[in-house]
Copies of this chain bind each other. A is one copy, B any other.
Amino acid sequence: MQQVEIIAQNPVSETESVTTTDLKTYRMNHTMIRVKSQEASLKFYQETMGMTLQRVSENKEASFNLYFLGYGAPSSEKSANGVNPTASREGLLELTWNYGTEKEEGKVYHDGNSEPQGFGHICVSVDNLDEACKRFESKGVEWKKRLTDGRMKNVAFVLGMFAQLCTLSSLRC
């Protein structure tokens, strides 16, 4: 079953005497995917997709790091009220990197589009579709579907870093 994580926009100490909750304030904060190589994935989502790194959570004792990326200026590292400074945002991507997976041979994680299917994709909307795709092309992306492929001329699909065998020196990894 799919998991929906629930986190606080406000510190519990401030809301413990409040007995209401307002659905209109809720935000779909992020989507979490696991990545084989933090180095290759951070490079892809920042340099190619143009996201900025908003927050890093290092968990050395448990041997994993979390990276939160999104568009726009990075959030301030610390929040004024002691909660996650990105909790009020929408549209973040959380990359989970378990130490050592980058050294494994071949595919480590499943993309959800081959069998067994499930997760499909994330979608980025851009100001200028033609120029954005030219820029992605110049960055050496691998295309699942170019703008000119198929019947839908207003949608393109780029292949990401999710589950591939990576060569860190190449953006096509």
Which A residues are within 8 Å of any B CB, using their own CB?
Answer: 1-10, 12, 15-16, 18-34, 49-51, 70-72, 83-84, 87-94, 96, 109-113, 116-133, 135-136, 142, 144, 154-164
The count of identical subunits is 2
Closest 8 CB pairs of A and B: A2-B162, A90-B91, A23-B50, A119-B119, A110-B116, A32-B120, A28-B91, A110-B118
User: Distance (Å) between the CB of A108 and the closest chain B CB?
Assistant: 8
Verify B155–A6 contact, CB threshold 8 A: yes
Verify B162–A30 contact, CB threshold 8 A: no
Inter-chain CA distance A35–B85, complex, in Å, is 32
Verify B22–A127 contact, CB threshold 8 A: yes
